[in-house]
Amino acid sequence: MAARNPIYGLLAEFETPTEVVEAAKKTHAAGYKKIDAYSPFPIEELSEAIGFHHNNVALVVLCGGIIGCLTGYLMQYWIATISYPVNVGGRPFHSWPSFIIVTFELTILFSVLSAVFGMLALNGLPMPHHPVFNVPRFELASKDKFFLIVFSSDPKYNAGDTRAFLEGLRPVSISEVPS
């Protein structure tokens, strides 16, 4: 195992959404691929700028929905026709129109559960500790400041050069993030 880099990355702070998106685009264009950005509210352009174009949440939800739909219908089919058939007013055991509602509800339930827990799992949450929290100014990332980080695991990362490059983007400040 390679020795762990004592530095997790270099964190640059910006004042406005426009500046951080501009900086992220330039950093990505300069060949840094392992980068991330932090903002107090969602900025659609920002994830594009760091080269994150697709997420898999919708796929997870689709799978959850299909599983929920099948679970709902098959459960009712099995109960009503195989395990516990009850004759209600001479209706067929497999009275499918009555099964639609519970099928629908379980489709929604499974989709919702997979949307919430899928999103959290893909984001690697819960994870209350993270190196960026070690930077005191980072607490402004949830208020009114915007941050860009170049991770030290990036192949192009070099403490001196990367800092010089980030300085060129004219951030408010640059901090080293200890890992």
Partner 1 sequence: MTPVEQLELEEKVSRAPVIEPGHSFATISDKISSVVLTRPLSIGWLLGLSVAGTFVMVLTTAIAYLFLKGVGIWGINIPIGWGFAIVNFVWWIGIGHAGTLISAILLLLRQSWRNSINRFAEAMTLFAVACAGMFPVLHMGRPWLAYWLFPYPNTMNYWPQFRSPLVWDVFAVSTYATTSLLFWFVGLIPDLGTLRDRAKNLWIKRVYGLLAMGWRGSARHWSRYETAYLLLAGLATPLVLSVHTVVSFDFAVGIVPGWHTTIFPPYFVAGAIYSGFAMVLILAIPIRKIYGLEDFITERHLENSAKVMLATGLIVAYGYVIEMFMGWYSGNRYDSFLLWNRLHGPYSFFYDMLWLCNIFIPQLLWIRKFRRNPILLFMISAVVLVGMWLERFIIVVVSLQRDFLNSSWGMYYPTRWDWAVFLGTLGFFTFCMFLFLRLLPSISMFEMSTLLPESKVKE
Nearer to partner 1, 158 or 173 (CB): 173
Closest distance of CB 1 from partner 1, Å: 25
Q: Is 131 exposed, middle or buried (0-12, 13-18, 19+ CB in 10 A)?
A: middle
Write out the residues near partner 1 by the rule CB under 8 A.
16-18, 21, 24, 36-47, 49-50, 52, 55, 57-58, 61, 75-76, 79-80, 83-84, 86, 88, 91, 95, 98-99, 101-102, 104-106, 108-109, 111-113, 115-116, 118-120, 122-123, 125-130, 132-133, 138-144
Q: Residue 121 Cβ, how far from partner 1 at the closest point, in Å? A: 10
Alpha carbon 105 to chain centroid distance?
26
For residue 172, the minimal CB distance to partner 1 (Å) is: 14
Write down the least CB distance from residue 122 to partner 1, Å.
Answer: 5
Asked if 177 and 134 count as a contact pair (C-beta separation under 8 A), the reply is: yes
Indicate the residue among 49 and 166 with the shorter CB distance to partner 1.
49
Minimum CB distance to partner 1 smaller for 43 or for 67? 43
Write the DSSP string, 138-176.
GGGGGTT-EEEEEETTSTT--HHHHHHHHHHT--SEEEE
| CA–CA gap between residue 45 and residue 90 (Å, rounded) | 60
**What pairs with residue 173 in β-bridges?**
13
